[in-house]
Amino acid sequence: MPNLIFYQKIKINKGEYVKLNIFSAAQPSGIPTLGNYIGTIRSWNAFQKNYNSIYCIADLHAITKRQNPKLLLKNSLDLLSIYLSCDIDPKISTIFMQSHRPEHTQLSWMLSCYTYFGELKRMVQFKEKSKNNKNINIGLFSYPILMASDILLYQTHKVPAGLDQAQHIELSKLIAKRFNKIYNSNIFNVPELIITQSGSRIMALSNPKKKMSKSDKNKNNFISLLDSEESIIRKIKNAQTDSDQPPVIKYDVIKKPGISNLLCILSELTGKNIIELETYFSNKLYRDLKLEVIHTVLEHIKKIQKKYFSIRSKEKYLIEILQSGSEKAKKIANNTLSKVKNAIGLHS
């Protein structure tokens, strides 16, 4: 199991225990990587047992880049199938498509009136994505407001995400506090970030100084959850190590980033701590480490793929899950939006 930081609090409402709400979303922009699985998706199974879990396929966020209309739904169903293959249970968790709930864009407009230009301009991700592009669309600029709406709409207490999303979640907190203060209310819960510890940043295999990403132009830098066995073996065998003689298998992200990345992957998937792995590999070769990583990664990915190809063929079933999830999400979303509109004076 992932090594998680749980902010485990149970609210008591009129003497009854109430699960806290947890919300997470991912864009349908391709099959998730091993890094996505370790850093986020794998933990969702644990969360759904302890929280009221709401998971969103963020297709509206995806269109900040031009999408092939024929592929957008396919990619969304692919992603849903991955979730189900990783044991996210639609009977326990709420899983839905962002575009199926109009409350997201309605709340986004309202919250944009309580967000300042300078706050959005300071977003690091916007700066990075717009750096080499002269024609920046407003959707990319206002992306963090829609993200805040996604989170706040469901009275979210906890948001599992990578450290790269921390600034966006801080903005969500700021907007929630600002709105509550202006209207002297507690309309929005103020969300908190949940991060994994060592698993939050699985690095690129050939360039372990940058994060593993499915959008990487170098396909050897990432392992897709649907990669073939041959591809996985080749990518891990070719993963960067170093030229130390004799070889030293030690966790040191500065001096030995490649070795550290392989140890991190192995630690996360086996549950063994880094020190234990360093001891085990103390007199072994880099080849031995890579073979162990290959064996462990294949063991996990083969299980996911077996479930995936069975589930993905049942398209009607997948559509029904999204429709059911949308109806469950509607109840919470409508309630929050109604409170916001009443506070502002937009009475229906």
Cβ atoms of 90 and 53 within 8 Å: the answer is: no
Ligand-binding annotation for 211, yes or no, is yes
- CA 130, CA 163: separation in Å to the nearest integer? 20
Residue 280 has φ and ψ, to the nearest 5°, of -60, -40
Ligand-binding annotation for 213, yes or no, is yes
Ligand-binding annotation for 139, yes or no, is no
Ligand-binding annotation for 164, yes or no, is yes
- CA 109, CA 139: separation in Å to the nearest integer? 12
Cβ atoms of 90 and 321 within 8 Å: the answer is: yes
Q: Count Cβ atoms within 10 A of the Cβ of residue 140 and give its class: 0-12 exposed, 13-18 middle, 19 or more buried.
A: middle
What residues are annotated to the active site? 129, 211, 214
Ligand-binding annotation for 240, yes or no, is no
Ligand-binding annotation for 162, yes or no, is yes
Ligand-binding annotation for 87, yes or no, is no
Q: At what angle do helices 315-344 and 143-153 cross, to 10 degrees?
A: 90
Nearest to 193 by CA among 168, 160, 151: 160
Q: What are 327's two structure tokens?
A: 């109806």
Which residues are CB-neighbours of 200 under 8 A, at least 6 positions away?
39, 162, 163
- CA 208, CA 152: separation in Å to the nearest integer? 35
Ligand-binding annotation for 29, yes or no, is yes
Ligand-binding annotation for 81, yes or no, is no
Ligand-binding annotation for 215, yes or no, is yes
Q: Which residue has the tokens 């996360």?
A: 268
Ligand-binding annotation for 39, yes or no, is no
Which residues are CB-neighbours of 283 under 8 A, at least 6 positions away?
none
Ligand-binding annotation for 150, yes or no, is yes
Ligand-binding annotation for 147, yes or no, is no
| 73: amino acid identity, one letter | L
What residues are designated binding site?
27-29, 35-36, 150, 162-164, 202, 211-215
What residues are designated binding site for ATP?
27-29, 35-36, 162-164, 202, 211-215
What residues are designated binding site for L-tryptophan?
150
